[in-house]
Amino acid sequence: MKHLPLEPELLAVLPAQIDLRLVVTDMDGTLLDGRGRVPAGLMDAVVDMRDAGVVFAPASGRQLSNLRAVLGSAVDESPLIAENGSFVVHGGEEIHSDTIRAQDAEAAITTTRHLVDSGYDVGAVVACKYCAYIERSDAAFLEQARLYYEALEIVEDLTTIPLDEALKVAVFDFDDVENGSSQALTAAVPHVQTVVSGLHWTDMMSARVSKGRALAALQTRLEILPEQTAVFGDYLNDLDLYDHADLGFAMRNAHPGIHAAAAYTAPANTEDGVLRTVAELLRRSRRQG
């Protein structure tokens, strides 16, 4: 599939020849367009990557089941980095996982309830490997949770589920999370890693979890080097990806922290930035071959 050419300033700074073997991309604000839709040319791009011996892997805060539902056959043969890197699978095989301590998950749930009592419009999602759980069930919150969690179950009390199997607790805030509830959550549950993963989401995970740690595990399994890896991201939960890829691209719409970490800038997610850039990387990789 033909794509619009990249801007001359990006074409000028990219290496003339590369050995591309792995493409890792965030979803929201990165691969998906401004309305959260999969780009029309994704399947063609994945076929082009497969033909060139390049592995395609989404890396998202989204649930494993959600990634499979949203991306469909495009990821039938792909590794999947889910839940901000706390769960990685390839085919039917688990490659990597990091769970949160049960007591920390319970503290995150309790803190979210306290925030509600204090006037915050928030709700918690406890994400396990194959199902996520919520106790807030109003239509507005359900709509947000279902955007990212395909396998979702409503329970009366989140503290009664098997919390030792939880990958993370994600808290949705209908207001500005970075300047609001995320600060309270960070202070209240100090033994976890608290990451702002979008304008309205805070993810609370094991201190070991990162998309970068998950990417490193995948690279080891596939025997792929950082210089053979391209990554695309837009928000702070993507930050550690750039430690493991020489071809690091910040979307033009990315958070300033991502621009500071990335070597290159790709067109915005609203301009089909990932697929346009990948098409150019494949052209330059073929020259290497």
Closest CA to 152 of 81, 91, 65, 254: 65
For the chain, where are the alpha helices, taking DSSP H only?
A: 8-13, 42-51, 64-71, 102-117, 139-148, 181-188, 211-222, 256-261, 273-288
> Is 80 exceeded by the pLDDT of residue 82?
yes
| Domain limit, last residue, from 206, 230, 252 | 206
Q: Is residue 40 part of a domain?
A: yes
Count CA within 13 A, CB hemisphere, residue 108.
Answer: 33
Q: Is residue 42 part of a domain?
A: yes
| Domain limit, last residue, from 206, 230, 264 | 206
Q: Count of domains in the chain? A: 2
Do residue 39 and residue 125 come from a single domain? Answer: no
| Domain limit, last residue, from 179, 206, 233 | 206
- Mean pLDDT for 240-250 is 97
Give the pLDDT band (50/70/90) at residue 12. confident
254 C-beta neighbours (distance < 10 Å), count: 27
SS3 for 213? helix
Do residue 158 and residue 90 come from a single domain? Answer: no
> Is 60 exceeded by the pLDDT of residue 227?
yes
- Mean pLDDT for 37-51 is 96
Looking at residue 225, its pLDDT comes to 98
Do residue 57 and residue 109 come from a single domain? Answer: no
Identity at 182, one-letter amino acid code: S
pTM metric for this prediction: 0.86
Closest CA to 283 of 71, 54, 55, 79: 54
Do residue 75 and residue 152 come from a single domain? Answer: no
- The whole domain housing 120 covers 102-206
